[in-house]
Amino acid sequence: MEYNPAVFTTADRKFKKMEFITKAGSLQPQAEDAVLYLLPANAQPGADQTAALLFASLTEGDTFAAAQTMSEGKLRPVAVCRPAGLERADLEKAAAEAAAWAQRQASVAVDFSVLDETAAALAAEVFVLAFGAAVYRFDRFKKEAKPAKLQNAAFYAPEHAAAVQTALTAAEAALYGINLCKDLGNTAPNVCTPQYLADTARAEAEKFGATAKILGKDYIREHMGAFWSVAKGSVQEPFLIELRWTGAADPEAAPVVLVGKGITFDSGGISLKPGEAMDEMKYDMCGAAGVISAFAAAAKARLPINLVAIVPTCENMPDAGASKPGDIVTAMNGTTIEILNTDAEGRLILCDALTYAAQFKPAALIDAATLTGACIIALGHVASGLMANNQDLADRLLAASRKSGDKLWQLPLFPEYKEQLKSNFADLQNIGGRPAGTITAAAFLSHFTENHPWAHLDIAGTAWKSGKEKGATGRPVPLLLQFLRDWA
């Protein structure tokens, strides 16, 4: 079936509308509610006998058990969740099991009454994100949508309602960003074009009171030689997206600037990729999706920071006008680049976006990109790669990673790696050979970020899953949003 992009607009993007609420009193389930008790290992189960029996039935290592009980002449599903501890990772593991059960119920009442304030707030965040992930569907291209049954979840934390409510509101903003990121990544590349990405970014920014500026082909061709060298091989018009949120008390305060790689389809260009799994190259805009979505979530949460998001977006295609291996192009800052492989295009569009970002005098400059297959070899699908020219910024990102559970691992950026980018014919070449491919890509970008604290996130292994569970993960939205919250 052919999809006409014109038929799908940003308005088609619809999330499952789930309602999350906090209740101040002790557990009082409605007639239709399923009930879930969160009971850490040393907890005393309350008056609910079914819950007490389930809790007692859990053997070593079990975290979840469910049953049905009669309540007012109706069957009521009851479950207990026993995390191994109250660290985030423990809660996440238990919440994922609970969410698989919860998504089959129409509404769930969750009892947090045995938790202290810190644990209740963290659990609220983790459970909102787990329930949100469990009910996420991407069915806009299917004739029939099959949404999850779960409509709402109420959290009962009698003594800590205010803290739970704050955590819940923050988690809802994060979930909004994660869902937006997944939707953008999953959307077919004939629909999610650079134009679509620009339209969506503008709509999302304006929805939350931020501003958008979109520059098109003429600006890019005239000023951004490296970016243009990638874009010119496609019939799709490239765009440079700029979003601005002024939330800090001082509107002139130096902003955090996020830059995201937005290749809406990467064929490799003239250095064509092999055909196998090439459909997954629609995910080569996940850096852009992550940056736009973290921006939207930050604006939705009205974070008191100044934030700029920059996204260069185009296709990488092998058209008659496409760049060839051996071509030399001039980047926005005057650096000449010999293109030895047209599939190393991400760094070509990013380097001009990073030069463009300098005008904002960023307090921190962070780019996110599905940049190198080498990063998947190094870190697999578990951790994103981090490289930085400033250790304080790297440490802040690592702290945000530990706090959000969105895993990150730092790789070195020693000056020696720059040697691999020396060209006989230009200032730089766009590939550094097989050794340390993730680092030499970052070393290339570092050439364009010398005047600012800068960090690079390689999300090639973490932005989407392949195989049966194929789909965008929503990463690195949790990491970026946590970083921005901590910055505020």
Q: What is the contact surface with Zn ion in residues (CB under 5 A)?
A: 266, 343, 345
Contact yes or no for 127/98 (Cβ under 8 A): yes
Contact yes or no for 36/107 (Cβ under 8 A): no
Paired residues of 406 in beta bridges: none
CA dihedral 136→140→143→149, nearest 10 degrees, is: 20
- CA 129 to each of CA 7, 150, 153, 309: distance values in angstroms, whole numbers, following the listed order: 31, 14, 12, 24
Min dist. Cβ of residue 426 to Zn ion (A): 19
Min dist. Cβ of residue 290 to Zn ion (A): 17
Does residue 273 have an active-site annotation? Answer: yes
Binding-site entries for Mn(2+): 261, 266, 284, 343, 345
Min dist. Cβ of residue 268 to Zn ion (A): 6
Is the Cβ of residue 168 or residue 460 nearer to Zn ion in the bound state? 460
Min dist. Cβ of residue 452 to Zn ion (A): 26
Is the Cβ of residue 266 or residue 458 nearer to Zn ion in the bound state? 266
Catalytic residue among 76, 82, 347, 475: 347
Is the Cβ of residue 270 or residue 303 nearer to Zn ion in the bound state? 270
Contact yes or no for 182/220 (Cβ under 8 A): no
Binding-site entries: 261, 266, 284, 343, 345
Is the Cβ of residue 393 or residue 441 nearer to Zn ion in the bound state? 441
What are residue 304's phi and psi, to 5 degrees?
A: -80, 60
Q: For residue 221, with 0-12 CB atoms within 10 Å meaning exposed, 13-18 middle and 19 or more buried, which class applies?
A: middle
Min dist. Cβ of residue 345 to Zn ion (A): 5
Does residue 104 have an active-site annotation? Answer: no
Give the H/E segment covering residue 328: strand 328-330
145, two tokens: 């949508």
Catalytic residue among 16, 88, 273, 418: 273
Contact yes or no for 459/286 (Cβ under 8 A): yes
Q: For residue 223, with 0-12 CB atoms within 10 Å meaning exposed, 13-18 middle and 19 or more buried, which class applies?
A: middle
- Cβ neighbors of 272 (< 8 A, separation 6 or more) are 318, 343
Q: Taking CB positions, which residue lies at the least distance from Zn ion?
A: 343
Is the Cβ of residue 338 or residue 345 nearer to Zn ion in the bound state? 345
What amino acid positions are annotated as catalytic residues? 273, 347
